[in-house]
Structure 1
Amino acid sequence: MLEVLSTRELAPVDRLDYWNELIASTYTGMVVDAPRDRFDARLTVWQMGTLRMVRPYSRAAVISRHAERHTRPTDQTLVAHLLTRGVARLEQRGRTVDLTEGDMVLCAAEEFYRFDTSTTHEMMVVEFDRRTLAERMPNIDDFVAKRISGQLPSTRLAHRYMSSLWQEAPETLPDAHWQMHAGILGDIIASCIEGSGEVTEAPSHFLLTRAEAVILERIGDPDLTPSVLAKSLGVPLRTLQAAAASTGTTPSALIMRRRLHRAARRLVSEPGAGVTTIAMECGFADPAHFARRFQQHFGTTPSHYRRMN
């Protein structure tokens, strides 16, 4: 079952209060703080078998959730947040985690946490019974509130699989089929969490985090090449190439992936914008080149992708 909640039809002055009432009734202890005159949000909720997937979108805001002290650790819900747009900072268990597009982080839902999003942002969120992940990974608590790089092959796989599931959400399938997909998704997320430990602690992680920030700042610049990116970071190109290789990618692929995913999000969120305009504003000087790369990456044309989302 797919449910979409939005503030779009409300007067701007009423949106934040409405959203806080709505969120508090859905997620105990959650509060949203944002500029009242500019706030806008949307929440898509999909119950897939026994698994709940959520897709929140909002303009810049601070989202906090207070602890539920009566909840036993064995009854906890663990929530995987995959950031698909913008940047965010998470605070939980005394840790501070900076996230860029494509990164994932695991939160303990019944403990205090806080997301500070200084930009418009969107996430894909999956809620798990803690025991479900603990069966796969007995040390799952070691990974709570730790950044899982969006450049890991397993995280990219999780992103693609979740995106594919969302595209099929309106379709009618037997509950048993959705439950099988829920199990597959749990295995994929567990694998990318488990495989992230050594990589996220490596020195290359910090360089790639900085590289991601530069790419996002200059996403519309068609002259942003690996050499220009390395120069902006103050490192030799070979150093940047080695850092990217440690996560199974290249600087060119980092830049291209960011451009394509930014374009894909805009195709959906800005239905009135032309495909060529979006391509150029995402750093593609040639619309035909954009269309080819988009189809290679997403398996469909930009126009068809827009219609399906």
Structure 2
Amino acid sequence: MNTSLCDKRWNGRPTDNHGWINAVSTQGWACRLDADRSGPSTIDIVHAGQTEIASVSAAWQSLSPILHRVSAPWNGEHVLVKIVQSGLMSIEQRQQTTTFGPGDIAVLDPQHMFNQSIGERTRVLALCIPKSALRERGLRHRFPTVSCPNPESPDVGVVREFVLYMASQARKASEPLLARLGDQCLDLLDVLVNHRDRSGPVRSSAVTALRAKQVIARSLGDPELCIARIAAELNMSPRSLARALQADGLSAMRYAWSLRLEHAARLLPGATQGEIKTIAHQCGFASPAHFSRAFKERYGMTPREYAANHKTTSVDGPQ
């Protein structure tokens, strides 16, 4: 029997079938409910820094991304990591269907059409991750088809449990701590997104570049970050590190400064003058004046001008 109201809740607020479909649509999904069967469905969304965490419990429905929609929160620039906690989830893509059970993980790119189906009540934890965060860490960020990390891998299992634990504590942790946990989660994602076997050996310089990018991404707020400190964390000499990075077309400190400015640009929209000074220190600049000069050279305007010009550009989530 299909009823209009069947115990659906969006971030704790009760809604009916029509409201559920509309709320899902505002997130960039086309939702189809089973015409003959229904069940309770809930979703709770929190943010951990750059990562959105959605805890979903749903039944008898299917989802597919609405492609080329400007209002979709990913707008082609996010990757989804879905962990099945209970029940079954099926992904149909390019005429192939993959079924995921408890403990299985699916990595998906909403730029590429797929259909996700759920029957009996199923619990899924979904991470919505900016591709920019993966690129900054030198990680794979394109997934034309669903990627399935091996659930039997010990490393995959450890990362999965870390993500699930972080999500379980999300409502208890302060916003700054949750952002730090989110950054740690991003640093561990290479285990899930770079798991595929590669043809031929991986160049040692490429591995060094990846590890250096991860160190830099973790240390953006350290104004004393330098190639010697990066090399020390990687247990190699500065000269060896510079040589390996050069072979991969990378300069450690140019990369660090570029990353700092990009991170600052994400934080600036709508910031006050006092907040701009805080952002400068958070991004590892020795002084607000240094930050202002570097930012203007990169973006053609001062941080204050950028904050004012971009304060209304962020897309709000569903109310």
> Which category describes the TM-score, using the shorter chain as reference length?
0.5 to 0.7
Q: 1:173 to 1:20 in 2, by over 3 A?
A: same
The question of whether the paired residues in 1 share the 8 Å contact of 2:59 and 2:120 is answered with: yes
TM-score, normalising length: structure 1: 0.53
Which residue of structure 1 aligns with residue 85 of structure 2?
84
Post-superposition CA distance 1:65-92 (Å, at most 9, x none): 2212669x99521111111111121123
How far is 1:178 from its partner?
A: 2.2
Match of 2:34 in 1: 34
Unpaired segments ≥5 residues, structure 1: 199-309
Judged with a 3 Å threshold, the aligned counterparts in structure 2 of structure 1 residues 170 and 36 are, in CA distance, closer, same or farther, namely same
Instruction: Tell me the distance in 2 between the aligned counterparts of 1:123 and 1:140.
Output: 21
| Structure 1 residues 56-205: aligned runs within 5 Å | 56-68=56-68, 75-92=76-93, 95-142=96-143, 144-175=145-176, 177-197=177-197
Report SS of the residue matched to 1:146: coil
| Partner amino acid, structure 1, of 2:151 | G
Partner of 1:53: 53
1:141 aligned counterpart, secondary structure = coil
What secondary structure does 2:54 align onto? strand
Distance 2:57 2:75 in 1: 30
Matched residue, 1:283: none
- Corresponding residue SS for 2:123: strand
Distance 1:39 1:119, change over 3 A: closer
CA contact (8 A) 2:41 2:57 kept: yes
Q: The residue matched to 1:101 in structure 2 has which SS? A: coil
How has the CA–CA distance of structure 1 residues 34 and 166 changed in structure 2, closer, same or farther, with 3 Å as cutoff? Answer: same
Tell me, yes or no, if the aligned pair for 2:90 and 2:99 is still in contact at 8 Å: yes
Report the Cα distance in structure 1 between the residues aligned to 2:136 and 2:21, rounded to whole angstroms: 35
Separation in 2 of the partners of 1:49 and 1:139? Answer: 20
CA distance in 2, matches of 1:131, 1:5: 28
**Once structures 1 and 2 are overlaid, which stretch shifts more, 74-83 or 46-55?**
74-83
- Greater gyration radius: 2
Question: Which letter does structure 1 place at the counterpart of 2:56?
Answer: P
Question: What is the CA–CA distance in structure 2 between the aligned matches of 1:8 and 1:75, rounded to whole Å?
Answer: 28
1:16 equivalenced with 2:11 (yes/no):
no
Does structure 1 conserve the Cα–Cα contact (< 8 Å) formed by 2:68 and 2:75? no
1:62 aligned partner, one-letter code = S
Query: Per the alignment, do residues 133 and 94 of structure 1 end up closer, same or farther by CA in structure 2, a change over 3 Å counting?
Result: farther
1:257-300 per-residue CA deviation (whole Å, 9 max, x = no partner) reads: xxxxxxxxxxxxxxxxxxxxxxxxxxxxxxxxxxxxxxxxxxxx
Structure 1 letter corresponding to 2:51: L
Q: Indicate the residue corresponding to 1:5 in structure 2.
A: 10
Contact 1:16 1:39 in 2 (8 A): no
- Secondary structure of the residue aligned to 2:68 is coil
Match of 1:42, SS state, is strand
User: 5 Å matches for 1:241-260?
Assistant: none
4+ aligned runs moved over 6 Å, structure 1: none
Q: TM-score scaled by structure 2?
A: 0.52
Q: CA deviation at 1:46?
A: 0.8
In 2, Cα distance between the equivalents of 1:41 and 1:104?
21
